[in-house]
Amino acid sequence: MNNLRILLYMMLLSLAACHPEGTSVKQGLDKAAQLMEQDPDTASIILETIQSSQMNEAQLAEYNLLCTQLNEDKNIPHSSDKQIRQAASYYEKHGDEYQKSKVYYYLACVESDLEQKEDAEIHFKEAIKLAKETEEYDHLAKICKRCSLYYQKYGNFDEALEMERKAYASQLMLNDNKSDSSVILSSALGMFGVMSLLLGLLWKKNRHALSQLDLFKEEILKKDVESDKLMLQCNHLEEKYQSLQLHIYESSPVVSKVRQFKERNVLSSKIPSFSEKDWTELLRLQENVYGLVSKLKEISPKLTEEDLRVCAFLREGVQPAYFADLMKLTTETLTRRISRIKTEKLMLANSKESLEDIVKSLGASPL
C-alpha cells in the first residue's frame, strides 16, 4: 500500500514537470512538507527527485530546511550545517516569526550534534522565544522537549527539567479544536516526560551522593590508618620520653645523695651535705618526672615546703631515723610530723598504708 502511494505521488510529480519551470519544484516542496509528519519516507523520496538547479533562493531555503527536518525527525545524526545555515540566512531576512523559530530550532539541533554547545543553546532559546510569540504550542512543545534532551546530554538536569515543564505547559495550551482524547493523551505524555526526567534527576543526584559517600568512607579509612600510625608513633615516643626521664632521674647527683642517707650510720654525728639548692633540685626532679609535688598539693593545699621535703625523702625509702637530724628534728618528732601529714593534712587517717607507701604510689610511674 505504501509503495502504491509513493508510485502515485511520483506520477503526479512527473505530470507536474510538464508545467512551466518552477511549478514542479513548488509542488514537490509543498507535497514533501505536507507528508513530512505522516509519511517521512515518501517525503524523502519526493525531495530526492527535486533538482536544486531549478530552485530559486526561497525554494532552496525551504528545501534545505525540509532536508534538515527530515534527518532530525528520523533521528539521523547531522554531519554538516551547510544546508541549515543557508536556510537560516534566508529566513532571517525574509521569514516570518514561525519560519524563523523553525529554522533556529533545526539549526540548534544540528549544532548540538556537531558539539557546538554554546551556539546550540542560544538558538534553542531564540526558537522558544519566537514560538511563544506565534502561539504555535505544538511547535513550542516540540522545541522544549528537544532542548531538554540537549541539556540532559551535557548533564544539566535542572535546566532539562525546566524545559520539560515548559513542554508540558505548552501541551496544555493547545487549541481546543483537538479532540478531548488527544488532549488528554498529550497532557499525560507531557506529565510522564516531566516525571521521568524528575526521577532521572533524583537518581543522578542520589548516585552522586552515594559516590561522594564512598569517597568520604575511603578518606575516613585512610585517616584511620594514618591515625593508627600516628598513635603508634606517639606511644613509641612517649615510652622513649619516659625512659629518658627515668634515666635523668636515676643518674641525678641529687638523687644519689638522698639514697646515701639510707646507707649512713644512724649513730654517726656527721650529717651528709644537702644544700638548699639540692632540696630545690630534688623537688623539681620529682615533679617533672612523677608529678609528685602537684599530686600532693592537689590532695592537700595546706602542705608546707617542709612537709614536701619529708615526702620527697620518704619517696626514696629513707627512714625518719636517717634524715631527722637533716631536718633539725629528733626521730620521735619527725615520726609524729609524718603522722600528722598523713592524718591531718592529707586526711588519710583511715588508710592502713603508711605515708611512705602513699607517697611511693603517687610517684610510682613517670608522667
pLDDT digits (tens, 9 = 90+) for 132-141: 888 788 888 8
24 and 130 assigned to the same domain: yes
Of 168, 200, 232, the position where a domain reaches its end is: 200
pLDDT at 122: 95
- How far apart (Å, rounded) are the C-alpha atoms in residues 169 and 153? 22
176 and 259 assigned to the same domain: no
Q: Is residue 24 part of a domain?
A: yes
Per-residue tens of pLDDT for the chain, all 367 residues: 555 555 555 554 554 444 444 457 888 888 888 888 888 888 888 888 887 777 888 889 889 899 998 899 888 999 999 989 999 999 999 989 898 898 999 999 999 999 998 999 999 999 998 988 887 888 888 899 899 989 988 888 888 888 888 888 887 876 554 555 555 555 555 566 666 666 766 777 777 777 888 887 888 888 888 888 888 888 888 888 888 888 888 899 999 999 988 887 766 667 788 999 999 999 999 999 899 999 999 999 999 999 999 999 999 999 999 999 999 999 999 999 999 999 999 999 999 999 999 999 987 777 7
- How far apart (Å, rounded) are the C-alpha atoms in residues 165 and 148? 10
311 and 162 assigned to the same domain: no
pLDDT at 21: 45
73 and 177 assigned to the same domain: yes
89 and 190 assigned to the same domain: yes
Taking a C-beta distance cutoff of 8 angstroms, is the pair 25, 55 a contact?
yes
173 and 288 assigned to the same domain: no
Taking a C-beta distance cutoff of 8 angstroms, is the pair 100, 91 a contact?
yes
Q: Is residue 351 part of a domain?
A: yes
Strands (E), the chain: none
Percent share of the chain, pLDDT over 90: 38
| Residue appearing with cell numbers 493523551 | 185
Of 168, 184, 200, the position where a domain reaches its end is: 200
Q: 152: domain CATH number?
A: 1.25.40.10
What is the separation of C-alpha 32 from the centre of its chain, rounded to a whole number of angstroms? 53
The three grid cell numbers given for residue 215, joined into one nine-digit string: 569517597
265 and 194 assigned to the same domain: no
Neighbour count for residue 324 (Cβ, 10 Å): 19
Q: Is residue 226 part of a domain?
A: no
The full length of the chain comes to 367
Of 200, 219, 236, the position where a domain reaches its end is: 200
C-alpha distance across the termini of the chain, in Å = 100
Show the domain range for 328: 253-362
Q: Is residue 186 part of a domain?
A: yes
173 and 278 assigned to the same domain: no
261 and 190 assigned to the same domain: no
How many structural domains compose the chain?
A: 2
- How far apart (Å, rounded) are the C-alpha atoms in residues 306 and 211? 68
Contacts made by residues 299-306, CB under 8 angstroms, sequence distance 24+: 299/346, 299/347, 300/345, 300/346, 300/347, 302/345, 303/341, 303/345
191 and 257 assigned to the same domain: no
190 and 59 assigned to the same domain: yes
Q: Is residue 328 part of a domain?
A: yes
Q: What's this model's pTM, rounded to 2 decimal places?
A: 0.50
Name residues whose C-beta falls within 8 Å of residue 109's C-beta, 6 or more positions apart in sequence. 68, 72, 78, 120, 146
Neighbour count for residue 12 (Cβ, 10 Å): 15
191 and 283 assigned to the same domain: no
Q: Is residue 243 part of a domain?
A: no
